[in-house]
Amino acid sequence: MDSHGQYEQRVVWTVVGTDIGPLLLAATPDGLVNVVFHATDATRDRALERLAARLGTEPVEAPGSPLLAEAIRQVEAYFAGRRRDFELTLDWSLISGFNRQVLRELASGVPYGSVVGYGDLAGRVGQPGAAQAVGMAMGANPLPVVVPCHRVVESDGGIGGFGGGVDTKRRLLALEGVLPEPLF
């Protein structure tokens, strides 16, 4: 508790090097709250400013924090090909409503090495015809990779868009064996 008797919202973060570039991982006592692609200095700083504004507290760099230890371990194992599923406590406070419903369904219902269409995912949450809204939910995903928005593709076989860039989406799908490894 802080000096006013309020529970302090603590946010810790670190950057982890991966095959798709640096990922920022941020956690609260409630779980992993944010994963950010391409976390070089400018991107990282913008992400931390957004987190501070959304969560009402300044994130603290703490690579050795127990709040991050398991997330770091599992992310590293995933990129090394030793982990297919993330078993992490997630803090869903950065997303709500339909978007949260869609992302929870994605996290629990679309396993490693498989893909789902935007429209199919909309149907799974009882909103057939809401494919565009599912696309918006994927773009708002605060926990990419861990909540695998890279597994959502277009119904006509197209790869679809991706907040981390289409090349990153291709690399993640290749890692999971859905696509061949890019040649270059």
Closest CA to 175 of 94, 113, 86: 113
Q: Which of 107, 149, 152, 153 is catalytic?
A: 149
Q: What is the 3-state secondary structure (H, E, C) of 111-165?
A: CCCCCEEHHHHHHHCCCCCCHHHHHHHHHCCCCCCCCCHHHEECCCCCCCCCCCC
Per DSSP bridges, beta strands 60-61 and 12-16 are parallel
Helix (H, G, I), strand (E, B) or coil at 63: coil
147 is catalytic: no
C-alpha pair distances (Å), 73 with each of 44, 63, 95, 124: 20, 12, 24, 31
Q: In terms of residues, how long is the chain? A: 184
Q: How many Cβ atoms from other residues are within 10 Å of residue 59's Cβ? A: 22
Q: Which residues form the catalytic set?
A: 149
